[in-house]
Amino acid sequence: MTTPFQPPRIVAPSILASDYGTFGSEAADAEAKGGDWLHLDVMDGHFVENISFGPGVVKALRPHTKLFFDVHLMLTRPDRYWEAFAKAGADGITVHVESEHDVGSTLEKIRAAGLKTGLALNPGTPFETMQPYLTEIDLLLIMTVVPGFGGQSFMHETLPKIEAGVAERDRLGLSYHIEVDGGIDAQTAVHAAQAGANVLVAGTTIFKAPDRAAAIRSLREA
Ligand code: DX5
Ligand code: ZN
């Protein structure tokens, strides 16, 4: 019997909620105020209703911070675009299980390029769809809102999927992170962390806070 993986708490400010006019300094500020990773939401206007930014912006942000770039691809065809984000400076790339691609093959290519691999599922998607890929990932992203926009309310009905992610990780002796994304604040972070999430993505809670360092601390300690 091996000891279950005890992942560290990681707070990942989501640049989507920052000031787009000063993206570079916003990224630097996320690091200065104590963020552990920078979460970058890429939206194609097709897989989700919103359009955010592409690899050119990720590349332009790269010199502004040393934070781990946690790139979340909300794209219909992540298999066509992940490489551009890898070249732009991504450290980890998360793709969706619902997108139109051979999930196993995309994950394998991302790993072969030397990046961390992540797999995401939407609130309406059952946990079982992740099962075939759990041994291939460094990060399991449980969406806690329907993706597309920042500032939405946390969906408590997603909590059992976090618990399932922990149970399967322990059962299989794996060591992936469990990340939650959407509607995370000091209160909902407690619920997500109790269920077993260790990477907390937060846009609004951090970037719109009067004191960003305090907001990050409140998530770290939640
Ligand atoms: C949702 C995005 C999130 C978003 C979270 O579509 O994937 O990363 O930035 O924003 P908040 O923290 O404001 O809910
Ligand atoms: Zn995201």
Q: How many domains is the chain built from?
A: 1
Residue positions counted in the chain: 222
Q: What is the CATH number of the domain that holds 183?
A: 3.20.20.70
pLDDT, tens digit (0-9, with 9 covering 90-100), for 17-44: 999 999 999 999 999 999 999 999 999 9
State the distance from the centre of ligand 2 to the C-alpha of 55, rounded, in angstroms.
15
pLDDT, tens digit (0-9, with 9 covering 90-100), for 144-157: 999 999 999 999 99
Q: Is the pTM of this model over 0.85?
A: yes
What are the catalytic residues? 41, 181
Query: Distance of CA 186 to CAs 56, 71, 154, 189, Å?
Result: 33, 23, 12, 5
Check pocket membership of 180 for ligand 1, CB cut-off 6 A: no
Neighbours of ion ligand 2 (CB under 5 A): 41, 72, 181
Give domain status of residue 4, yes or no: no
Give me the domain span that covers residue 65.
10-220
Q: Which ligand is nearest to the CA of 189?
A: 1
